[in-house]
């Protein structure tokens, strides 16, 4: 009787062979493994080895050099389903005497299914993304995005833009296929907008803001940071301060352009005037505007022709409407003035003597 060693296990055998591996082995579906006798040739020269896998659900292949009767073989377990199998080797010496078979129990574990994941992409405000494994999940499973470092948690946070290969490993060490995931680059902010303004006038109390850049499909615009529209024009805008922003298709919002819509220009007050009426000696009159006075104001007595001077001379008798116009084109209410006819000279018909 002689002893044969199966690595960590000692078998007392009355045969000529033992396996150079563990008495129990756990592998994954589809694994390719090498097996060898740990003391080949310890018996008489010319021994051969018979390798058998049971039960018959084994669907792999056994190869060896120079053949399947060699003392060292390779088993491609192929499509052999998960389960418990027995690998047995029997040594037969040159005289045809077989030894006692030596067994190894091989447990085949399923490979986890390829993971499914959800991703959170970077946003305008957050430059990193995240990956969360949704299946498979369960006790004993660990997860990796680089094929090296595994963790029990299903979430991977603060991921820089790039491509990641997500895999799942079970308690037996079997690793799933790869699910590639791309974390996109952080979306860029739109450029700060530019715009043209139409300010209120004497006749129109509101203004207009028109965006000139950036423009294009997918852009939206706001003057209050809340309500966005696809059109570039904001009409009927009341006087006040506004922050014009642009939002791109990714939802990123530009820095603001500060805009002020001015108050509607005020019309001048109705003028006060001093008329000079015709006299017996002077057939024409004059009108002198006394208020309002100031730079940029012009004056008219017909509502059409305006002058900077406040005096209108050589006016024929009649009715005049005096108005004042500001530099912004706003016209006051009218002050009505009448230039009277020239007074008639008295008529003496005769001198009477007493």
Cis peptide leading into 55, omega within 30 of 0?
yes
Q: Are strands 179-183 and 155-159 parallel, antiparallel or unpaired?
A: unpaired
- Mention the CATH class of domain 272-339: mainly beta
pLDDT at 17 over 60: no
Q: What is the pLDDT of residue 19?
A: 52
Q: What is the pLDDT of residue 40?
A: 58
Q: What is the pLDDT of residues 225-260, one digit of tens each?
A: 999 999 999 999 999 999 999 999 999 999 999 999
Q: What is the pLDDT of residues 158-173, one digit of tens each?
A: 999 999 999 999 999 9
Length of the chain in terms of residues written: 354
- The structure tokens listed for 273 are 């005037």
Average model confidence (pLDDT) for the chain? 91
DSSP code per residue over 63-106: EESS-TTSSEEEEE-TTPPSEEEEEEEEEE-TTS-B---EEEEE
State the fold for domain 116-183: Immunoglobulin-like (2.60.40)
pLDDT at 353 over 90: no
Burial of 36 (0-12, 13-18, 19+ CB in 10 A): middle
* Per-domain residue ranges of the chain: 2-109, 116-183, 194-261, 272-339
Q: What is the pLDDT of residue 354?
A: 72
State the fold for domain 2-109: Immunoglobulin-like (2.60.40)
Listed range (7-16, 55-64, 274-283, 301-310) with the worst mean pLDDT: 7-16
Q: What is the pLDDT of residues 175-225, one digit of tens each?
A: 999 999 999 999 999 999 999 999 999 989 999 999 999 999 999 999 999
Q: What is the pLDDT of residues 130-154, one digit of tens each?
A: 999 999 999 999 999 999 999 999 9
Q: What is the pLDDT of residue 42?
A: 53
Q: Where is pLDDT greater, at 344 or 147?
A: 147
- Going by pLDDT thresholds of 50, 70 and 90, the confidence category of residue 41 is low
Q: What is the pLDDT of residue 189?
A: 93
- Going by pLDDT thresholds of 50, 70 and 90, the confidence category of residue 13 is very low
H-helix or E-strand spanning residue 323:
strand 318-325
- Mention the CATH class of domain 194-261: mainly beta
Q: How far apart are CA 78 and CA 110, in angstroms?
A: 12
Q: What is the pLDDT of residues 60-105, one digit of tens each?
A: 999 987 777 888 999 999 999 999 999 999 999 888 999 999 999 9
pLDDT at 52 over 70: yes
Do domains 2-109 and 116-183 share one topology? The answer is yes
- Going by pLDDT thresholds of 50, 70 and 90, the confidence category of residue 267 is very high
pTM: 0.64
């Amino acid at each position: 009787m002689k002893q044969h060693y199966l690595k960590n296990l000692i078998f007392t055998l009355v045969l000529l062979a033992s396996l150079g591996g563990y008495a129990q082995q756990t592998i994954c579906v589809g694994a390719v493994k090498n097996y060898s006798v740990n003391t080949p040739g310890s018996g008489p020269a010319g021994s051969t080895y018979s390798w058998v896998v049971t039960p018959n659900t084994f669907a792999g292949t056994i190869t060896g050099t120079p053949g399947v009767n060699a003392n060292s073989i390779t088993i491609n377990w192929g499509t052999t389903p998960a389960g418990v199998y027995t690998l047995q080797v029997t040594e037969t010496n040159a005289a045809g005497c077989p030894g006692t078979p030596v067994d190894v129990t091989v447990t085949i574990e399923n490979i986890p299914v390829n993971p499914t994941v959800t991703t959170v992409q970077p946003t305008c405000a957050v430059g990193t993304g995240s990956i969360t494994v949704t299946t498979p999940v369960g006790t004993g499973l660990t997860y990796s995005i680089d094929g090296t470092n595994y963790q029990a948690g299903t979430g991977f946070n603060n991921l820089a833009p790039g491509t990641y290969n997500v895999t799942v490993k079970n308690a037996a060490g079997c690793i799933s296929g790869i699910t590639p995931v791309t974390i996109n680059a952080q979306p860029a902010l739109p450029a700060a907008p530019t715009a043209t303004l139409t300010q209120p006038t004497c006749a129109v109390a509101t203004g207009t803001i028109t965006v000139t850049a950036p423009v294009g499909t997918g852009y939206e615009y706001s003057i209050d940071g809340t309500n966005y529209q696809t059109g570039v024009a904001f009409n009927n805008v009341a006087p006040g301060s506004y922050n014009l922003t642009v939002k791109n298709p990714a939802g990123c919002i530009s820095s603001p352009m500060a805009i002020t819509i001015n108050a509607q220009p005020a019309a001048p007050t109705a003028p006060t005037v001093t008329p000079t009426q015709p006299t017996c000696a002077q057939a024409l009159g004059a009108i002198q505007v006394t208020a309002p006075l100031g730079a940029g104001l012009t004056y008219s007595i017909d509502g059409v022709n305006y002058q900077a001077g406040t005096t209108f001379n050589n006016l024929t008798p009649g009715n005049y409407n005096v108005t004042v116009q500001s530099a912004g084109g706003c016209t006051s209410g009218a002050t009505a003035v009448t230039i009277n006819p020239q007074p008639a000279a008295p008529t003496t018909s005769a001198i009477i003597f007493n």
